[in-house]
Amino acid sequence: MEDWKNIKIDGVNKIEKVVAEFNIHAMEKLPFFKFKIKIRESSTGGYFGSPNVAVRSQIDHEPDWISGFGHSIDKALEDTIIYFFKTLEDMDTKNLTEEDFVWSDVHDF
């Protein structure tokens, strides 16, 4: 099933394959039950993860969308979770509300 990595079409820079999706339960840190992380494999090598939710910046109130990277699905998942929680570091997690987050469009995830 590696043939997809060799597809070359004029105008296509890179192809990504969704290889995993995880439900992350972190009720001690977040005001909602769970969020998801999708892991993609790049045709150019490596894996990257993206959550379906972003923390709003305390500076400009815009969402801080993050990604994690790794040479395996597990490493990309771990990196994504770590970077997601880093966006919460300077916040009072006990007083977070849904308004402190932005969810991705359900069609994008």
Assigned token pair, 55: 């923390």
Judge contact between 18 and 36, C-beta under 8 A.
no
| Full pLDDT tens readout for the chain, 109 residues | 568 989 999 999 889 999 999 999 998 889 998 999 999 999 888 999 999 999 999 889 999 999 999 999 999 999 999 999 999 988 888 889 999 999 998 877 7
Identify which of 38, 59, 26 has the alpha carbon closest to the alpha carbon of residue 109: 38
Q: What is the pTM of this model?
A: 0.88
61 conformational bin, left if phi > 0, alpha if psi -120 to 50, beta if neither: left
pLDDT at site 78: 98
Listed by start position, the domains of the chain span: 2-103
The backbone torsions φ and ψ at residue 37, rounded to the nearest 5 degrees and listed phi first, read -130, 130
pLDDT at site 1: 56
pLDDT at site 27: 84
